[in-house]
Structure 1
């Protein structure tokens, strides 16, 4: 039997064949007439699901409409066309649904059953789905999320979760034009970054690196020694949101650092047709095109699809450094039955940077350098070639009594080819004289990386002692393999002040084999956790995980023949989790949580012995508030992390038989700090995300570690949609402030640092019609000169003042 395709299916097929959008049949765009009368506006909202229609209405009217998800499920709205006051418009939108509005405050409404029906229904946990606030953030216009499962796998609100969580929503990414993962994490409260040459971004939280990334909740791993770190290079076009849990997450991820986990959630196919196309231009010849089309592929809507494509080309503020990106994402979702859903997605990300980032930060005499921001450290021919493919498959099965089974798997395949000709770098050493004579190292390397991961959970409610509780049991498995082969060419001495990034390009035969480096990690684990409602106000989350861990590290110097072949196995490593949440009011709660962590490591001491795994304990105490039916979240947290066997540079020593720096194990290391965050809607049309963090890591003697990271950070971004006749205009802005930081060069007994600095940004968006809008971003308004990060012998300047403009058409 031949299946009749909808117009969307035809559009998707055309996209796949030609990588272009087809023309969609749309009604003509009528210019809206904004009435002068108080509260009267012109609307043209098509019929559809109640959640979607109310979401559009809330954005256009500048009001918030909340409804219990159990009430709105399956309801349709007749839509709205014409000029109406808010109350009149809302009445027409919910006609025939059996619901009525309840005024909660200025510009805030809640939908409840009509009085004749109210006695038959009991409201459950509120999901502000009319404004889009469930877990999905796309289309909500919000800077926060209604629920998150990254920390515990249970679908809890941010207030109900006893850990610090930040969510960077789709709207936030669009407003500030955060296009890649490093952009997003640079703006996330409590997260800092350093960059160690080229495209290796090291992300830190609470004193240690974040190396655990999840895709739709499925855990993946990255080893920063490989320099093949695809998770920090992701393009954000295909993602709905980024959730960052700060602190230890051993219950869900097993082995890891007490820094946190980054969970990226992909856009999913929608039950109704939606699409957009947008283009952007900006400073340094920036050009980008992006298209997204989604909706039902069959008349019944049981099969849905989505495709996202993007192309970006740009120079940068650094001489001879360019970037080239291609992104293609496709997803299918099918309802096999009323209770069974299957989702398949494939995404391909191609990234081609050329040139070399960064500048030397210290001369051989121990004096700090002061190069201009347009200086770059790489030869013109230097290049990186990343090809990353992700394949994912998920099954969601609804069971009896509100239980649910979820199984998800992912396979990541990465190929990297690098031709390097850049300023030489190593920790604590300088390779440039005050006269400008610099050493340029040359090399070629290839790397392949494969990751397989699967995650299965079974969760649902149960009754005990007269109260309802929630239980989750699960298992996951991760297999990470990275092969890295490197060669080296003859080092060149250039006049760094005048070389103009010109260097003869050696052919492949001119390189000498240098390093064969392999890492493979295999981890499996089983966990159980429960949320026990001891009373209406007191909630206890208890859980434990048993992990089996295998780590193999192989490194061979092909020049000297030195081999390090190291394996370790941990079986039955138990990671406990405990959290208590006490509701002070329906909107406010306090909490305390505890977990411990373990993390194998490959650092070696001065005798060549590999250091024992890092072990430690994580404590957190905090307050959280959830206001305006969940559209505004606030939290204050204090934490302490106690760690042993932390690798610290053993100054002046190298690993025997190599030129690698030696490390020593530091016991009694502590990280103490506080996190404050406010995210969401302060008033109708006013969105904000702001956060302050203080984090200090010390060794047992009280000496500060990780001085290359700032002690204090502040992040702020806010937008406001003007009311009345100016409602088409949205203005925004923000600031990113870091306290002073520095990097120590032991050989010269000298330190390179910078004072506190702040970067100010502005934004304006004007909606030309219901479908067409344009956004202008002015970044680094005051043209602040600063290092965005430094590591090794490199410093990486942040971008100077620049402007970006984007035009978007929503179908």
Structure 2
């Protein structure tokens, strides 16, 4: 068996070739994707290689060569048995790629020859050349240490798969990009991800949207949890310091997650313990008294490296551009991996997050005619006793057993407990242009808690049928949420002069209005799933998948004078998925896919029965490229999502359901558009992550809103762009970066408030002080753009975007 290590999937085939005419004709139809690729110029072979920073952990030689292939242009061709069982030493420092290779091969008896960037490996005395054969690609989804914005693979589909082999849209935000842009929270990562928009709920939570739909499931190392059903719990204020990467899947992901909306899914992939001892340090200081630091240490705890550990401590304290607002955000992560045998590894870990904040939720009001009050961005309409204490603890464990080189068992579980206590004063009420009055202050008390449990177990492996490779994954999953939310408020607590607010006001002794308690008890879904990737020909792969899901949810609300119970249930709900991937060339693939997802409802019909689930279907066609020896990924996708069976008012039956109208499962919406994305090294030293999304969405069938926009959180045009360039030659220690986030205008259909389009530019300059230390200065909102983030209401919910800010960071790696 022949294997090779490189992020690219190199295909060498003596039986079939693609003529230039065929390739040209095929790719000419892919105009937008090619327009991105035209920026790519082949890198000339230099007479003398420049040294670069290389960091390779102590591990097997096979994995070490993989890591070297990710960090350099080199790709390796060798017989698999050649490196089996051979350990490799750690290699770190500034050196040429070939020097790093020599260090890895020292003492192994393995020799090599080089042609361009291709390395042939053989045992001393063995053959030095390999005959033309089909060469399979070896991919690693890990991005830490790759120094790249391009990911060679993703694991959101349970197994490591090259992005160009996945017949759906996936974006991977790598560790390098997270560091370069200083994306310190998960919300900040998603705010810079292709196709994703964010809205803020009243009590500090975040909702994420893709393709016009809310993302309802969040995966943790592939284990899905239903985080969106608990708004404060999904605020994602925790640090990204413990993450290797963030994978974002756009489209219907019912196959591996069950119930949800067809917008997509997010997979947060944690850093793993390392066999090599390593220490990462970070210190930061910036605008609004922002200071923080991070320590990340890992290594083997015993002589043979079978027991490995990783610990990350991140401490952060900052003020805000809004007066009075401040927060302390502390996060601790600890993980262990232990090799029970050469074939079995178990892992376990814990993440503890603590947020202590003086917040301002609710935003600013407007004039009663909808125009802006023109208040300063620093305006704070709350009280100095505003308080938000949020605690979260995650515990996880997993097991991987390799039956042989083809078959593997993965078992993983995650438990999360979170609490949120909020005392808050906010403002509501439009301002009369004549009297400049009309706004009142409301005092709130939220006391919320939730527990999440997630489990996933799957077996995946490879076999052949008539000489063609078949990859099979079969698994089971479960997620469970229980929560208790207690809410009380004192309405019209105090009058407010929005132009001269005073934060020094008394805290109410009680919160008498609308005290109520709501519970999810429980919110559970279970499922069994299977996916087969079947090679029909050398170039054509059929992907078939399906899932049977069982769903049950009970939500109760108890108030002083009323109570309510909402239930939803689905049994053996089937969600299919089918896709085709065709390899146009070794670098380009075209694909088409169809995927289902369902969402149970709680509304009832005239006869008292619960409506059948909403069904969403995602249709997608596209093309993907893996260029520059895997250092650059490109994609272009056309998509359409149809969602039907949505609850609408049953006007024909009259108001006979508790004085109101019953519901019918007759609503239908459609979201469609296209996405273009490019990520990785487009020229030597120039890393780019760019994505453009066009979306059109509307109600197709609805008695009240037919023809209107369905998702007001989704702009028609959305651009995410970031680039980083390392200067050549004697300026190699210096790198500069710049980018822009732009989105088109949005209008709130209820308030008719319009938020104009806006663009925010960001920049960075970094310098390698030594081979171990890098200093960087990030400037966000470079041109100090004044804008509102969302189209709010005349009463409230108008939030300014952050003004210009700077952050100085010093990072060290040892």
TM-score bracket relative to the smaller structure: 0.7 to 0.9
Quick check: 2:212–2:711 contact (8 Å CA) kept in 1? yes
Selected match of 1:102 from 107, 110, 114: 114
Match of 1:315? 319
> 1:567 deviation in Å?
1.4
**1:809 is the counterpart of 2:812:** yes
Unaligned runs of 5+ in 1: 1-36, 129-133, 425-429
Which residue is equivalent to 1:397? 401
Q: Tell me the SS of whatever aligns to 1:463.
A: strand
**Equivalent pair of 1:329/1:345 in contact (CA under 8 Å):** yes
Distance 1:317 1:400, change over 3 A: same
Question: Is the aligned partner of 1:233 residue 2:241?
Answer: no
Deviates more, 1:88-97 or 1:264-273: 88-97
List per-residue Cα deviations over 1:143-169 (Å, max 9, x = no partner): 12221121x323210000000000001
Give the equivalent residue in structure 1 for 2:3. Answer: none
Please tell me the root mean square deviation across aligned C-alpha atoms, in Å.
3.3
In structure 1, the residue matched to 2:286 is 282
CA offset at residue 64 of structure 1?
A: 2.0
Where 2:324 maps in the other structure, the secondary structure is coil
1:760 maps to 2:761: yes
Tell me, in whole angstroms, the C-alpha distance in 2 between the residues paired with 1:410 and 1:726: 46
| Alignment check: 8 A CA contact 1:477 1:523 kept | yes
Cα 1:43–1:606 shift into 2, 3 Å? closer
Give the structure 2 partner of residue 620 of structure 1.
Answer: 620
TM-superposed CA distance for 1:715, in Å, is: 0.7
In structure 1, distance between residues paired with 2:408 and 2:198: 38
User: Superposed, which structure 2 residues align to 1:403-422 within 5 Å?
Assistant: 403-422=407-426
Q: Does 1:795 align with 2:806?
A: no
**Contact residue 709 and residue 742 of structure 1 kept, 8 A:** no
Q: Which whole-Å CA distance do the structure 2 matches of 1:805 and 1:281 have between them? A: 5
Structure-to-structure mapping, 1:149-164, within 5 angstroms: 149-150=155-156, 152-164=157-169
Distance in 2 separating the partners of 1:461 and 1:663: 48
Between stretches 702-711 and 290-299, larger displacement belongs to 702-711
The equivalent of 1:745 in structure 2 is 750
- Counterpart for residue 581 of structure 1: 581
Equivalent position of 2:477 in the other structure: 476
**CA 1:692–1:664: 2 relative to 1, 3 Å:** farther
Secondary structure of 1:797's counterpart equals coil
1:208-245 CA-to-partner distances (Å, cap 9, x unmatched) read: 11121000000001245x43233632310111000000
SS at match of 1:668: strand
Equivalent residue number for residue 447 of structure 1: 448
Of residues 423, 427, 437, the one that matches 2:427 is 423
SS of the aligned residue for 2:636 comes to strand
> Is the contact made by 2:642 and 2:669 (CA closer than 8 Å) also made in structure 1?
yes
Match of 2:136 in 1: 125
* Aligned counterpart in structure 2 of residue 377 of structure 1, from 376, 381, 391: 381
Asked if the contact 2:205–2:234 (Cα under 8 Å) also holds between the matched residues in 1, the reply is no
Task: Tell me, in whole angstroms, the C-alpha distance in 2 between the residues paired with 1:47 and 1:575.
Answer: 41
What SS does the corresponding residue of 2:255 show, helix, strand or coil? helix
Write the distance in 1 (CA, Å) between the matches of 2:98 and 2:228: 56
Structure 1 residues 382 and 367, CA, compared in 2 at 3 Å: closer, same or farther? same
Q: 1:745 & 1:628 partners in 2: Cα distance?
A: 49
Alignment: residue pair count: 748
1:273 aligns with 2:270: no
In 2: Cα distance, 1:136 partner to 1:588 partner: 22
State which drifts further: 692-701 or 252-261: 692-701
Q: Which residue of 2 aligns with 1:178?
A: 183
Q: What is aligned with 2:564?
A: 564
Normalised TM-score (structure 1): 0.86
Cα distance in 2, alignment partners of residues 684 and 533 from structure 1: 35
* Corresponding residue for residue 725 of structure 1: 730
Deviations 1:610-661 (A, max 9, x none): 765321211111101111232211110001011124468999xxx9999999
How far residue 770 of structure 1 moved from its aligned partner, in angstroms, is 1.2
Measure, in 2, the Cα distance between the counterparts of 1:646 and 1:378: 38
Give the SS at the match of 1:174: helix
Preserved CA contact (<8 Å) 2:345 2:399: yes
- Aligned equivalents of 1:502 and 1:303: distance in 2? 55
Structure 1 CA distance for aligned equivalents of residues 611 and 52 of structure 2: 68
Deviation at 1:764, TM superposition (A): 1.2
**For residues 292 and 603 of structure 1, do their structure 2 counterparts lie closer, same or farther at Cα, with a shift above 3 Å needed?**
farther
The CA deviation string for residues 427-453 of structure 1, in whole angstroms up to 9 with x for no partner, is: xxx444331441211121211100111
C-alpha distance in 1, partners of 2:459/2:68? 37
